[in-house]
Structures are given as C-alpha cells and as structure tokens.
Amino acid sequence: MVEDREPGSECFDVEECTVENGGLRRRGVTVTLRCASEHDLDRVVMRSDTAYLTVPEVGLESPPGTARYTDLRTILVEARDRIETASVGFLSPSGASENAVQQFLAEFNQVISGVTPCTIVIDDPTGRSYFRKDNTLPPPNVSVRVYVRTANQNEELGIEADAAANLDEPLPIEDAVEKVKELIESSSRIAMFTGAGVSTESGVPAFRSSLPGHVSALWDRFDTSNACYQRFLEDEDSRIEHWDMHACLWDKLREATPNPAHRLAARLHDRHKLLSLVTQNIDGLHQAAGVPTEKVCELHGTMLSSHCLTCGHRVATETLLARRKPGDPAPHCGEAGCGGSLKPDTVSFGEALDPKLLLRARDDACKADLMLVMGTSLTVEPANELPALALRHGIPVVLVNQGETSMDHTVTLHVPAPCGEFASAVMHLLAW
C-alpha cells in the first residue's frame, strides 16, 4: 500500500528548504528500527521533510511531507488516517479493492497497537532525520547507514553537482574556518547556541563530563540525585550538598575569564550580526565578554543570583558563599519574618524551564539566517531541539564540538575542534 498525496499539499518544497543548500548535506541516512513491542513505538523521531518512511511488513510507503518531531506511533496513526479517508491514497500496481484496503488497515492497526512486530525504515537523502535517545525506554534495535547521495537525488533536491561536493564532511579545519567566515559575512541574523564545552575552556567545570585537560566534572564528585528539584525541596541534606556543589563551582568561576568563543559572540553583536545567544551555561561569561544581557537567553538559569523559595527575594550568590564552608547549613532568607530556603537561580532536574525563554529560543531559531552551535553534546532536552528546528526551516547550522553528538551527520557543517581555538581562527580570518 503506497501512501500518496495531492501534488503540492504537503510535498517537499525545494526552494524553501535548500536556501543556498543551508541545512542540506551530501550524505544521506537510512535509520532502521525493529519494533518488538509497543514501547518501541513511543520513541521520538525527527523525520525531516525529505524523508521517506516504509513499513515492509504491511507494505506501507510514505513519501516526504511536512517535517515532524514526534513519536513513531503518532506518525503511523497519521499515515493510517490519511489512507483511510483519502481515496487518492489507495494505490497499488493492480488496483486495490475496498476489501484489500480494509485488510491492509486491519494489519496496519495490529502494527500500531504493538501486537505485530514490525520494521520501520526512514530514508532521508539529506541526512537530517534521527531517533532521539531516551534512557527511560529499553535499548532500541536500531541500525544507521550513512551514504553519499546519488546524482539523481541531488537533482531531485535541486542541488547542482558543484554545490553538492561542497557539502561533504569532514572538512579540514582550515577549510572549515574559511567556510564559517563566508557564512558569517553573508549573514545578518546569527543565532548562537552554546553549551558546557565553551565554559570548560575557561576553567569552569562541566556538570556531566569533562574532556582531557579540563577541570573534572562536578558529577564525578557529587551525588547527582541531589541535583533534583524535589529532593532540594524536601531534604536538608540534599540542600546542603546542592550548595556545596555550587560553592565548588563558584570557586572556579571566580577565576574564570571569557575565552575566544565568548568573544566571538561579542564581536558578532558589535557588528550588528547577533540575533540572540541561547546558552545552557550558568556562569555569565557571555555577558562578561560584552554580549548585552538582553541578547542572552540563559535557558538553564544563572549561578550569579539566588532566590527565596518562599517570598521570592533575590540575593547575589557571591554574598551567600563568601563565608560558607563545605557541610555548612543551607542558607535561608534574611527578609523579615521569612526564613525560607534559598536556592541558586539554576535549573535543577525536574524543575521547569522558563517557558518564555524557551519560546524565545525556538522563535529565534526559526528567524535566524545562520546558527552557530558551540560546545554542546546535544543531550539535554529541550534545548537540544534548537539545531533541528533551524534545519527544518532551511537555516544552515554549524556545530563546533570536540565530542560526538547525535547531529554530527545532520548539521550543515560539523567541526570537531576546541571552541576557543576555532573561534580564534575565525576571528583572525575576519580581521576582528
């Protein structure tokens, strides 16, 4: 059973999505998931608007359409509903009868309900589709094949041969620097997205993991369960360790200074090219480098201030840590008649992000004409959705990160290099 659509209804728009090849790569990707239970259908997938989806067991072939970031079951249900209600979808070489269609739908419903094991194949010639990692679900049976697009596929996507050759990766660092220089020069609304890899080069410890030569990660030394918001609310010992962890971070932060990656953002602002800067970092080093506070979207909060959970009074974190020693009681609010627990303005596990900041970050990801992603492993949700969102809108995405990420083969340009070193080379070439 082939799922068909009326021409132009939800079809891939080459001119809208290529944008001078922004967001497209020379390499395509085929992702295969073997679903043995209904839980496998709960997995979230980024299916780009150039991806074909097939389920061989029931003969489903779904052509490219609107980009979707949702669970597999929803995608399958939507495909079933289109076939069930649109007579133009009932296509087969011999001409499908009503009984054959009903039999197909019955078999398809068995797949959707998880009764019948199946194989779901997503073939994306632009390489932008992927499965989201989810540690709450059993390990998936997933295979990924990366391939170089054929000349015919490039022609279908509206990419000329010379342009397609320039999309291959990885580029030598000097070529990547030149490419980013050209992208910056031709852009006027640049969105930056930075993670811990930018700050660790300034001596600020990361929470999750550290690279050789950098300060060891905080979670190598502290119990990660004490980073949970609910435990902070309920348990004094957790509050004490939470503050001990932040005190350790503060000791390093006091000595930290902005590095070239921070200064690149400031130079972009000075030249009226910076649309916004979204960061997962909590150290304020972007502002220290010269990026105005109103341009910085601190999704995970800031270490520089703290607030009372009872009355909302805010206080500089530095004043709370000035005389504090490890193991000291957690600080309390000094406002008259309050005495509530104080908490740093950083986002803990289980604590909601500011919805206004998240909306702003997503909005800017769609408005930009270039996204620079630096120093993030793209594992923390929902911030890690921003590069995929930009790509779906045809915006070139440059990813600079030393460790591997789930989008190394998806972004427009992946640069496996230290952020500061790369930023310094780019600024040198721009004569900034």
**CA atoms of 159 and 139, how far apart (whole Å):** 37
Q: Which two tokens stand for residue 427?
A: 């600024």
**CA atoms of 197 and 262, how far apart (whole Å):** 11
**CA atoms of 349 and 225, how far apart (whole Å):** 9
Using alpha carbons only, give the angle 168, 169, 172 rounded to the nearest 5 degrees. Answer: 120
Using alpha carbons only, give the angle 102, 59, 52 rounded to the nearest 5 degrees. Answer: 120
- Sign of the alpha-carbon dihedral angle for 314, 315, 317, 320: negative
214 in active site:
no
Helix or strand holding residue 415 (H, E): strand 413-415
Q: Are 319 and 346 in contact (CB under 8 A)?
A: no
The beta strand positions in 174-293, using DSSP E, are 190-194, 274-279
Catalytic residue, chosen from 269, 300, 307, 393, is 300
The residue written with tokens 């959707």 in the block is: 112
**CA atoms of 432 and 418, how far apart (whole Å):** 19
Task: Using CB atoms within 10 Å of the CB of residue 403, give its burial: 0 to 12 exposed, 13 to 18 middle, 19+ buried.
Answer: middle
CB-based contacts of 68, cutoff 8 Å, min separation 6: 45, 46, 47, 74, 75
The set of catalytic residues is 300
